[in-house]
């Protein structure tokens, strides 16, 4: 049993029943010149967590945690992309358009791939998700249930969108969730901070949070 000094109180888990879920550490979101930057965002907060996510991956692998990596991406024909998602707002580039790293959020395009230093290794699960939450229209729940997973550690981007959505999905399914504070980021730092506070409010209503340094 591992105990983490977390907020709002200690988080305890058995490595054999725990998975690390790394959300959407994709080139188009994290790297300069990618889709995120083309929308006018400063990607430096996202790029800044890459070393911490690397350390978290190494820590988890050394302790035998099951590791899950997610990517938000769609089929080339966009058959899994609802029109409401593609057509909302007035962006310069929409899902499926040609962007700085290929077609935006299309599976198989360079920008939809992982930051190279965070790529999965043999035995780790890669989930390609068409929505914000990693449980929607994927095999994640079945895989976790088959493995007897009860606890989830989270990292990735962005904190208030895909990370928080997946944590709330997991919470509704009965998983005990811990978000690693310095292994998650947003284009909007205030949104990240608000999400951390929402997650751990009211006695860990969604889950726990802790910095990487709190892991023993």
Q: Does the active-site annotation cover 80?
A: no
Sign of CA dihedral 87, 89, 189, 191: negative
Sign of the CA dihedral running 166, 171, 172, 175:
positive
**CA nearest 107: which of 71, 140, 83, 135?**
71
Cα 65 vs. chain centroid, distance in angstroms? Answer: 16
| Cβ pair 149, 175 in contact under 8 A | yes
Q: Pick the catalytic residue from 24, 28, 132, 177.
A: 24
Task: Return d(Cα 60, Cα 19) in angstroms, integer.
Answer: 8
Q: Is residue 24 flagged as an active site residue?
A: yes
Q: Find where tokens 């978000």 sit.
A: 179
Task: Let me know if 162 is a catalytic residue.
Answer: yes
Pairing of strands 98-99, 102-103: antiparallel
Coil, strand, or helix at residue 196?
helix
Spatial contact of 108 and 76, defined as CB atoms under 8 Å apart: yes
Q: Which of 28, 129, 132, 177 is catalytic?
A: 129
Residue 72 CA to residue 89 CA, distance in Å, equals 19
Q: How far apart are CA 153 and CA 210, in angstroms?
A: 10
Return the bridge partners of 125, or none: 68
Question: Which of 28, 81, 132, 162 is flagged as catalytic?
Answer: 162
| Residues acting as catalytic residues | 24, 129, 162
């Amino acid at each position: 049993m591992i105990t983490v000094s977390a907020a709002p109180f200690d988080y305890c888990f058995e490595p054999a029943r725990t998975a690390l879920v790394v959300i959407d550490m994709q080139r188009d979101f994290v790297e300069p010149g990618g889709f995120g930057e083309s929308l006018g965002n400063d990607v430096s907060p996202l790029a800044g967590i890459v070393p911490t996510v690397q350390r978290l991956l190494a820590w988890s692998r050394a302790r035998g945690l099951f590791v899950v990596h997610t990517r938000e991406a769609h089929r080339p024909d966009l058959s899994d992309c609802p029109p409401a998602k593609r057509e909302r707002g007035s962006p310069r580039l929409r899902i499926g358009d040609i962007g700085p790293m290929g077609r935006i959020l299309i599976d198989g395009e360079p920008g939809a791939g992982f930051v190279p230093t965070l790529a999965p290794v043999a035995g780790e699960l890669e989930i390609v998700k068409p929505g914000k939450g990693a449980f929607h229209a994927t095999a994640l729940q079945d895989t976790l249930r088959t493995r007897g997973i009860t606890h989830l550690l989270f990292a990735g981007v962005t904190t208030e969108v895909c990370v928080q959505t997946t944590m709330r999905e997991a919470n509704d399914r009965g998983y005990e969730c811990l978000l690693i504070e310095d292994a998650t980021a947003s284009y909007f730092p205030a949104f990240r901070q608000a999400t951390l506070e929402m997650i751990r409010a009211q006695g860990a209503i969604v889950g726990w949070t802790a910095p990487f340094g709190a892991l023993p």
